[in-house]
């Protein structure tokens, strides 16, 4: 009877181990989620650093992630004669229980390339993307500083949208304009809206200013900088077309995603030794002195470098034997990272991935 009870207990024990799915999902889903987020941030940071060195960026997309779990159980028993080997001697009942737990993770990666990907990478950011980002709550000054390289002829470090220039760019008037827009935004006096033409699917976008909410000296300066007719509160936003703007519109020359990466790469603080040996371009100001790119990228992106591993980082990669990282306390750079991730999703979409077939049984 004791042997039978022991066998039943073993069966119950292995039965309790059967429902492993919920427990695996509880812990593994969070682990995979965290790994994907860290991987995407590291890839974005790596490509920005690469462009500072004029190296070729590479983009990988996680296609499919799966993890199969297998629980193998076995139970057996044997009888052994303990004395003299006689068939009539005392016998011992020996139960045997085995449990094997096997995890089979599968992750597929896809290199983003081909005509469609390259076209999207090099195409100007859409006006609809700027409108969506603004209405979703992103600060208008951050959107414009990242996405726009020229508005009605006012340059936002236009030459920084490509490999690091030898001479400092023009940027001061654009920064002033962005500060004014931010002031108006804080007073709930600015919005970007889209209006669909009734006879077509075309959508026109407008920058709308609310004069009743804003100091008129601020609006006057905005109109002056943009060469807009004073008093115009509904300003049409027009994609760059190479012609002079009308006095009730803003001609906007947006960056492409690749232009944006180049722009952000100017915020990489490379080791002094790499500058001295010519691995990167050192930009000069009008007096021939070393130009500080923090004047352009302040509040947008700062990427530090160092030889030691750090724990207080939001993202870090090792490139050319140097650790490049974003300080975890740098909320501005972290915000830009999030903005860029959303912008890429809006601009480029998700690639097609192959269907992964997973066997249900061995």
Question: 0.85 exceeded by the pTM?
Answer: no
C-alpha distance from residue 362 to each of 14, 66, 69, 344, 355 (Å): 20, 16, 12, 40, 20
Identify the bridge partners of residue 95 per DSSP, sorted by sequence position.
Answer: 77
Predicted local distance difference test score (pLDDT) of residue 361: 53
Residue pair 44/336 in contact (Cβ under 8 Å)? The answer is: no
Residues 6+ apart with CB under 8 A from 263: 146, 149, 157, 160, 161, 255
Q: How far apart (Å, rounded) are the C-alpha atoms in residues 84 and 88?
A: 9
Could you say which DSSP state residue 160 is in?
Answer: G
Residues 6+ apart with CB under 8 A from 243: 251
Predicted local distance difference test score (pLDDT) of residue 169: 98
Predicted local distance difference test score (pLDDT) of residue 26: 67
Which bin fits 204, alpha (ψ -120 to 50), beta or left (φ > 0)? beta
Residue pair 156/296 in contact (Cβ under 8 Å)? The answer is: no
Which bin fits 154, alpha (ψ -120 to 50), beta or left (φ > 0)? beta
44-70 residue pLDDT tens: 999 999 999 999 999 888 777 777 767
Helix or strand holding residue 110 (H, E): strand 91-111
Predicted local distance difference test score (pLDDT) of residue 351: 55
At 285 the three-state DSSP class reads: coil
C-alpha distance from residue 268 to each of 47, 144, 283 (Å): 11, 20, 13
**Residue 255: is it exposed, middle or buried by C-beta count within 10 angstroms (0-12/13-18/19+)?**
buried
Which bin fits 180, alpha (ψ -120 to 50), beta or left (φ > 0)? alpha
Could you say which DSSP state residue 118 is in?
Answer: H
CA atoms within 13 A on the CB side of 58: 5
Predicted local distance difference test score (pLDDT) of residue 171: 98
Mean pLDDT by groups of 10 residues along the chain of 362 residues: 53 53 70 83 96 94 72 69 60 69 73 84 94 96 98 97 97 98 96 89 93 90 96 95 91 97 98 96 95 97 91 94 96 96 81 54 50
Choose among 341, 308, 338: nearest CA to 324.
308
At 194 the three-state DSSP class reads: strand
314-357 residue pLDDT tens: 999 999 999 999 999 999 999 999 999 999 888 876 555 555 55
Helix or strand holding residue 131 (H, E): helix 127-135
Strands 148-151 and 154-155: antiparallel
How is the chain split among helix, strand and coil, in percent rounded to 5? 40, 25, 35
């Amino acid at each position: 009877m004791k042997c039978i009870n022991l066998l039943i207990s073993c069966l119950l024990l292995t039965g309790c181990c059967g429902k492993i799915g919920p427990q695996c999902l509880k812990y593994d889903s969070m682990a995979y989620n965290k790994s994907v987020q860290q991987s995407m941030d590291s890839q974005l940071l790596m490509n920005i650093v690469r462009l500072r060195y004029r190296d070729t960026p590479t983009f990988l997309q996680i296609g499919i992630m799966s993890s199969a779990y297998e629980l193998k159980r076995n139970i057996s028993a044997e009888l052994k004669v303990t004395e003299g080997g006689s068939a009539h001697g005392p016998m011992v009942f020996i139960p045997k229980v085995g449990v094997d737990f096997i995890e089979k993770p599968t992750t597929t990666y896809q290199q983003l390339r081909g005509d469609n990907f390259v076209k999207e990478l090099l195409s100007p950011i859409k006006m609809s993307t700027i409108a969506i980002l603004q209405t979703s709550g992103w600060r208008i000054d951050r959107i414009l500083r990242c996405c726009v390289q020229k508005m009605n002829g006012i340059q936002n470090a236009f030459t920084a949208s490509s490999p690091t220039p030898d001479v400092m760019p023009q940027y001061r008037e654009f920064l002033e304009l962005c500060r004014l827009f931010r002031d108006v935004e804080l007073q709930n006096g600015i919005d970007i809206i889209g209006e669909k033409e009734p006879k077509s699917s075309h959508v026109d976008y407008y920058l709308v200013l609310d004069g009743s909410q804003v100091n008129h000296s601020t609006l006057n300066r905005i109109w002056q900088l943009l060469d807009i007719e004073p008093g115009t509160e509904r300003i049409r936003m027009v994609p760059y077309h190479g012609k002079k703007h009308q006095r009730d519109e803003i001609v906007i020359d947006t960056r492409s995603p690749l232009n944006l990466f180049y722009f952000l790469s100017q915020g990489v603080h490379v080791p002094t030794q790499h500058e001295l040996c010519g691995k990167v371009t050192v930009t000069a100001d009008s007096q021939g002195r070393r130009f500080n790119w923090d004047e352009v990228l302040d509040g947008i992106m700062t990427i530090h470098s160092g030889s030691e591993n750090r724990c207080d980082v939001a993202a870090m990669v090792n490139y050319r034997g140097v650790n490049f990282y974003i300080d975890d306390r740098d909320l501005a750079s972290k915000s830009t990272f999030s903005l860029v991730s959303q912008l890429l999703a809006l601009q480029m979409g998700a690639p097609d991935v192959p269907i992964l077939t997973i066997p249900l049984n061995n």
